[in-house]
Structure 1
Amino acid sequence: MKSENHSEILLESGTNELEVIVFKIGQETFGINVMKVREIIQPPPLTKMPNSHAFVEGVVRLREEVIPVVDVAKALRFPPSANPGHDKYIVAELNQQKVAFHVHSVSMIHRISWEQIEKPAELSQGLEGSTIGVVKMDEQMVLLLDYEKLVADISPQSSIHVDKLKVLGTRERSLKKIIVVEDSPILRKQLEHTLTESGYADLRFFENGQDAWLFLDQLASNDHVQGYVNLMITDLEMPKMDGHHLTKKIKSSQELKGIPVIIFSSLISGDLKHKGEVVGADAQVSKPDIANLVQKIDQLIL
């Protein structure tokens, strides 16, 4: 399932645009970044697994790979499908693993700008913080779920944990100043804890690329970059401004281009890794490899 612009968007870098596959759970409309999606299939025979998570229906075999199936409706506390014959599996890859999301129907692909995506207010967010963005599309509101959080809730070992730093051994405290750009509140807390444990405690967090850019641009205009920022870590998928566009703006700025930028995302593979290279990222690390992230920081600023 591809749009006519699919090949074009893969070749572009730092456009602050994405393509979203729109699907339904009950009467509600949701979207998922096409870069997460490997294929959309009819539900094949399912094998139940004993003692599995309540949201995991079982596993399916696709070309010799065994992939868990997540019932998105159950995860969101929605009723089961009223028309199971229309159901689809969205096979996605994130956090270095594949998972099939069981949805009730799939409609089409839309190309949009990250600027169109609004962060939901806390009172309207619902779904226990599982929604990271809302976009108005064709007179309907499309919710973007935090798929990494959904997978991490089911498989905690796939998330960021301080125990993964043990391979680095004993470390000294650093005075280097790091900016972290991450829209997920849970991941911000995890990164704060793990980076502090690794010795990097002078951290400033931003929840989207636009806010981080405004801060950096102000520093640049006042000639205050030196001493305020030694390195930046950025996610890719964020409302208002994504990580590729943010990186491109930094590396295009005479005053800011010397700041090392590490892209830390669940989408570091293939075409997206190439796009990160094109916009000038100094390093790219796939979530949740926190030990590799710290090693890259060490290499770039120590």
Structure 2
Amino acid sequence: MAGILDTVNQRTQMVGQNRLELLMFRLGAKQRFGINVFKVREVLQCPPLTALPKRKSSIRGVAHIRGQTLSVIDLRQAMGGRPTEDVTNCFIIITEYNRSVQGFLVHSVDRIVNCNWEDIQPPPKGAGRASYLTAVTEVDGEMVEMLDVEKILDEISPTNAVASADAYQGTESLKKDRVLLIADDSSVARAQIKRALEPLGIPLELVKDGRQGLDYLRDMAEQCQKSITEQVCLLISDVEMPEMDGYTLTAEIRANPKLKDLQVILHTSLSGVFNQAMVQKVGANKFIAKFDPDELANAVKESLMIEAG
């Protein structure tokens, strides 16, 4: 037990400090990519793959690892590149995203680096709508790109982002004159959340990262006599975002007298074992793993009822 607690403490030391660890990898000989270590379960040499009938071409097959059968996605092909030819010398990064576990086939894995979210920037504006990037940073003088994995997974297996009618029951009497703020760097995730929550009839404001979210709240607080809750009823924030992550955003909210009463739901594809300790440390009200529209709608309804007393 002591060893487990030590590990939790080591991981959570960065929480609220706007820092993260990146596992760097390559899909070819040149460009480097990065993935948050919190999303990585294991990295291993690519095992034998079993092909599946009627599969998406980017799914190279399934692998049997430690008693579990995992789909293995050719990450380069999923982004529109050439299929990886010789998988025997490649690696798979086993990840947990949005309540599912999958393997990403990559050419090679470099190392883990400790970064600051302030040094991780949104992708260049010229990247266009077809871009699979959510952020870029620089390590050792070389650009490292962070991928919109939610977009990649949604293209392979689209998510039904509409909640059931039961999830919206009981909201008729709630006040709907205040904004619900959503902060998420993934365009796919923002669209999913918007579709899931629009039937509630609450005005939605969408921003792309924690820095934009904090600036928005500070501006709104200037218009308030007492508390931000006069203008904003709830914040739903992703955790991984360039410039300022969701943990730091929550910690900044709790430290600000005008913002501290705002309810915060952290809504993220991070679903590992350390999340509860992180949520408690920064003072979020609730943590939800992406993406279940019913659970999200119910959590919003519950939060608004608590906030309304």
Fold equivalence (TM over 0.5):
yes
How far the C-alpha of 1:14 sits from its partner, in A, is 0.8
Q: State the partner residue of 1:8.
A: 10
How far the C-alpha of 1:170 sits from its partner, in A, is 4.9
CA distance in structure 1 between the aligned counterparts of 2:160 and 2:18, rounded to whole angstroms: 26
Q: State the partner residue of 1:212.
A: 213
Q: State the partner residue of 2:142.
A: 140
How far the C-alpha of 1:136 sits from its partner, in A, is 1.1
Render the CA deviation track for 1:233-286: whole Å, top value 9, x for unaligned. Answer: 000111110000000111121211111000011113311232012101101111
State which of 16, 19, 22 in structure 2 corresponds to 1:20. 22
State which of 231, 235, 238 in structure 2 corresponds to 1:235. 238
SS in 2 for 1:270: coil
Tell me the amino acid that sits aligned with residue 137 of structure 2.
Answer: V
Q: State the partner residue of 2:248.
A: 245
Q: State the partner residue of 1:168.
A: 167
Tell me the amino acid that sits aligned with residue 109 of structure 2.
Answer: V
In the superposition, relative to structure 1, how do residues 266 and 160 fare at CA in structure 2: closer, same or farther (>3 Å)?
Answer: farther
SS in 1 for 2:123: coil
Deviates more, 1:167-176 or 1:46-55: 167-176
Tell me the amino acid that sits aligned with residue 142 of structure 1.
Answer: V
Q: Is the 8 A contact 1:9 1:18 kept in 2?
A: no
CA distance in structure 2 between the aligned counterparts of 1:63 and 1:77, rounded to whole angstroms: 31
Q: Is the 8 A contact 2:27 2:76 kept in 1?
A: yes
Q: State the partner residue of 1:37.
A: 40
Tell me the amino acid that sits aligned with residue 168 of structure 1.
Answer: A
Render the CA deviation track for 1:67-126: whole Å, top value 9, x for unaligned. Answer: 000001211233345775541100000100101000000010111111111111232357
Q: Is the 8 A contact 1:69 1:100 kept in 2?
A: yes
Q: State the partner residue of 2:3.
A: none
Q: Percent identity?
A: 30
Runs of 4+ in 1 over 6 A off after TM superposition: none
CA distance in structure 1 between the aligned counterparts of 2:201 and 2:90, rounded to whole angstroms: 46
CA distance in structure 1 between the aligned counterparts of 2:58 and 2:8, rounded to whole angstroms: 31
Q: Which runs of 5+ in 1 are unaligned?
A: none
Q: State the partner residue of 2:301.
A: 298
CA distance in structure 1 between the aligned counterparts of 2:9 and 2:42, rounded to whole angstroms: 16
Tell me the amino acid that sits aligned with residue 59 of structure 2.
Answer: V
Q: Is the 8 A contact 1:160 1:191 kept in 2?
A: no
CA distance in structure 2 between the aligned counterparts of 1:29 and 1:178, rounded to whole angstroms: 37
How far the C-alpha of 1:55 sits from its partner, in A, is 0.7
CA distance in structure 2 between the aligned counterparts of 1:243 and 1:160, rounded to whole angstroms: 25
How far the C-alpha of 1:34 sits from its partner, in A, is 0.6
CA distance in structure 1 between the aligned counterparts of 2:9 and 2:27, rounded to whole angstroms: 28
User: Does residue 287 of the first structure (1) align with residue 290 of the second (2)?
Assistant: yes
SS in 2 for 1:129: coil
Q: Is the 8 A contact 1:132 1:184 kept in 2?
A: yes
How far the C-alpha of 1:160 sits from its partner, in A, is 5.1
Render the CA deviation track for 1:119-142: whole Å, top value 9, x for unaligned. Answer: 11232357x221101101111101
CA distance in structure 2 between the aligned counterparts of 1:16 and 1:166, rounded to whole angstroms: 38
CA distance in structure 2 between the aligned counterparts of 1:233 and 1:248, rounded to whole angstroms: 14
**Alignment TM-score, normalising by the size of structure 1:** 0.90
Q: Which runs of 5+ in 2 are unaligned?
A: 1-6
Q: Is the 8 A contact 2:77 2:84 kept in 1?
A: no
How far the C-alpha of 1:180 sits from its partner, in A, is 0.6
CA distance in structure 1 between the aligned counterparts of 2:137 and 2:201, rounded to whole angstroms: 35
State which of 19, 31, 51 in structure 1 corresponds to 2:54. 51
Render the CA deviation track for 1:188-207: whole Å, top value 9, x for unaligned. Answer: 1222122012x143111111
CA distance in structure 1 between the aligned counterparts of 2:98 and 2:210, rounded to whole angstroms: 21
In the superposition, relative to structure 1, how do residues 266 and 207 fare at CA in structure 2: closer, same or farther (>3 Å)?
Answer: same
SS in 2 for 1:78: coil
Query: Over the residues paired in the alignment, what is the CA RMSD in angstroms?
Result: 2.1
Tell me the amino acid that sits aligned with residue 206 of structure 2.
Answer: F
Q: State the partner residue of 2:78.
A: 75
CA distance in structure 2 between the aligned counterparts of 1:298 and 1:84, rounded to whole angstroms: 47
Q: State the partner residue of 1:180.
A: 182
Tell me the amino acid that sits aligned with residue 202 of structure 1.
Answer: P
CA distance in structure 2 between the aligned counterparts of 1:124 and 1:149, rounded to whole angstroms: 15
